[in-house]
Chains A and B, each alone.
Chain A
Amino acid sequence: MAVAVPILPSQQLAALSEVYRKAVARRRLHFLVATAVFCAALIIASIGAEVNLRTLFTYFGNFVSYFDRILTLDSGARVWTNIGEWFWGWHKWLLMLGETILISYVGTMVGGLLAFALNFLAAANTAPSPSLRFIVRRLLEFARTVPGIVFALIFVIAFGLGPMAGVLAVAIHSTGALGKQFAEIVENADMKPVEGVRSTGASWVSCMRFAVLPQVATGYASYALLRFEINVRESSVMGFVGAGGIGQELIVAIRKFYYSDVSAILVMIILTVFVIDIGTGWARGRLFGKEARS
């Protein structure tokens, strides 16, 4: 079936194309102004950040050769020609990696429990009173916005050097992040079961336990696993400020130019992160699979 394309008389066409040209011109102008503002911001920023392209070009060779150096053993051979020599400290490093994972595990657990205790108070549909909700929300926001490593710096002074400071820093940051996510899940929950439980004369706690919790538990577990994954990355650098884990070994290796150690530790960290990613992905799949079946 042939469809005829209507051809408008030239007068009408001229008016239409005039409007079209104006619309396009206005969009172009907006785009140009936005680009100009952005470029100006970039220039100001590069002055502020002391960007020096000459330094970059002069030393960019250093960046490439840095990777060349960290992949070379003291004997001058490539690292992969002598795995035993490359990973000479694997026993110690594995222990430190275990500590890193443990820090993020315990930190996520504590953070998850605290977030669990607070999230019903922070969610709009379950909060017992608006003022309490406001306070809890600001508290969670504070815990989330201050970077974990800043908490670690302060806790190292309060609790002494060691993994405990790292655990608490991870825990506080996780409380903030998980508390917000948990509250969002609760806000999406169906409120009819709550009314049902409430109508039997149940208290607020029973309402949460029997009406909301069954709906949201899987979501909680999923977010907690995701947070655990993120925390493993984060606690790998907690050692930089003395809060335990593999970061301590890494910063010593980088600062003292033990080149092949740097690459060995980095490889171990990356592998661990991969394994944890895959593991939590698998566990999440299992959790959601169960949910889908019932």
Chain B
Amino acid sequence: MTRLPAPDPSELRARYPEVFERPVSARLATPAMIIAASGIFAFGLVDLDFSPARILSGLHQLGWITMMMIPPDPGSSLPLYLKALGETLSIALLGTTLAAIFAFPLGLLAARNVVPSNFLRFPLRRFLDAIRGVDTLIWALVWINVVGLGPFAGVLAIAVSDFGAFGKLFSEAIEAADKKQVEGIRASGGNALHEIRFGLLPQVLPVIAGQVLYFFESNTRSATIIGIVGAGGIGLQLAEQIRVLEWQKVSFLILMILVAVAVIDWISSKLRFAIIGRRAVI
């Protein structure tokens, strides 16, 4: 067995100068970034009124609240809560469906391979971005002003805010589609509508269906909170019970939300697998 000679440090240094002699700027970059990040962090803590005393007393309160939450108990309002949960699921389903129906044509228009002109696409994309920049809760407040308090405002709020997201996702899915099939339809004499119907749709529909299902899942979460501003669903009950400090009911409602979200997750992942299953596996 031969022993390798121990490498000479000076020789290594000469052979790999870029490892041993990094410029000062490169060596200082990481510490500088860390210092800047923690500096802003410290400033934020001070500016946002963090103090050990406040944290301690808050934690004390929080512990007390948690104690009060056990055991979860709906009292006599279980039917009311079940109805509210049904309302929440309805809001999510209707909102997602509405958004998908309206976003699909727009997604086509915003896709580069369907409408090559930049003129239409650019403002359309910025419009969708602006819609997405506004939170669902804000849309809920706006719709409450229009159709009044109640779940209907929630449906419209979810529909509008998802519309922005769907428009973007759909147009990206359409842009990612294979153009050979579209060319095939064109070669056999199909017009633009035929190209979309027989060339694009079969490719993008499974993708889109998967995205819609995924959003339905995440919308059950959003739909639980829009009630906080008065747009119906279980959030309304939750906010009310928190305000009147009925902690046992609060924990029961949170448990209900968790279970509902888990069930919807499960169902929609099954459905997603059924729709795009084999393709996703490969």
Contact of A240 among B93, B228, B250 (CB under 8 A): B228
**Are the C-beta atoms of B145 and A163 separated by less than 8 Å?**
no
Contact residues in B for A103 (Cβ distance below 8 Å): 44, 48
**Are the C-beta atoms of A105 and B87 separated by less than 8 Å?**
no
Chain B interface SS verdict (over half): helix
Docked Cα-Cα span, A6 to B17, in Å, equals 69
Q: Name the residue on A nearest B221 (C-beta).
A: A147
Docked Cα-Cα span, A142 to B45, in Å, equals 26
Confirm or deny: A270 has a beta carbon within 8 angstroms of a beta carbon on chain B. yes
Count, chain A residues at interface, CB 8 A: 57
Min CB–CB distance B172 → chain A (angstroms): 15
Q: Name the residue on A nearest B45 (C-beta).
A: A106
Contact segment of A59-67, A74-82, A86-94, A189-197: A59-67
Docked Cα-Cα span, A234 to B47, in Å, equals 20
Confirm or deny: B130 has a beta carbon within 8 angstroms of a beta carbon on chain A. yes
Contact of B137 among A47, A159, A240, A266 (CB under 8 A): A240
Confirm or deny: B123 has a beta carbon within 8 angstroms of a beta carbon on chain A. no
Docked Cα-Cα span, A152 to B249, in Å, equals 17
Confirm or deny: A48 has a beta carbon within 8 angstroms of a beta carbon on chain B. yes
**Are the C-beta atoms of A266 and B138 separated by less than 8 Å?**
yes
**Are the C-beta atoms of A66 and B239 separated by less than 8 Å?**
no
Confirm or deny: A241 has a beta carbon within 8 angstroms of a beta carbon on chain B. yes
Confirm or deny: B152 has a beta carbon within 8 angstroms of a beta carbon on chain A. yes
* Known contacts A59-B146, A164-B50: A149-B62 contact under CB 8 Å: no
Contact residues in B for A240 (Cβ distance below 8 Å): 137, 228-229
- Scan B22-58; emit 1 where CB is below 8 A from any A CB, else 0: 0000000000000001001101110111100011001
Confirm or deny: A251 has a beta carbon within 8 angstroms of a beta carbon on chain B. yes
Min CB–CB distance A186 → chain B (angstroms): 21
**Are the C-beta atoms of A42 and B48 separated by less than 8 Å?**
no
Most A CB atoms within 10 A — which of B90, B232, B242?
B90
Most A CB atoms within 10 A — which of B133, B141, B245?
B133
Docked Cα-Cα span, A55 to B245, in Å, equals 35
Min CB–CB distance B198 → chain A (angstroms): 15
Confirm or deny: A150 has a beta carbon within 8 angstroms of a beta carbon on chain B. yes
Please report which residues of chain A, range 139-196, place their CB below 8 angstroms from some CB of chain B when the two chains form the complex.
142, 145-147, 149-150, 153-155, 157-160, 162-164, 167
**Are the C-beta atoms of B65 and A102 separated by less than 8 Å?**
no
Q: Name the residue on A nearest B37 (C-beta).
A: A109
**Are the C-beta atoms of A102 and B93 separated by less than 8 Å?**
no
**Are the C-beta atoms of B94 and A42 separated by less than 8 Å?**
yes
Confirm or deny: A46 has a beta carbon within 8 angstroms of a beta carbon on chain B. yes
Confirm or deny: A85 has a beta carbon within 8 angstroms of a beta carbon on chain B. no
Min CB–CB distance B46 → chain A (angstroms): 10
**Are the C-beta atoms of B145 and A254 separated by less than 8 Å?**
yes
Give the interface of A toward B (CB within 8 A).
41-42, 44-52, 55-56, 59-60, 62-63, 66, 99, 102-103, 105-106, 109, 142, 145-147, 149-150, 153-155, 157-160, 162-164, 167, 233-234, 236-237, 240-241, 244, 250-251, 254-255, 266, 269-270, 273-274
Closest 3 CB pairs of A and B: A159-B58, A48-B90, A45-B90
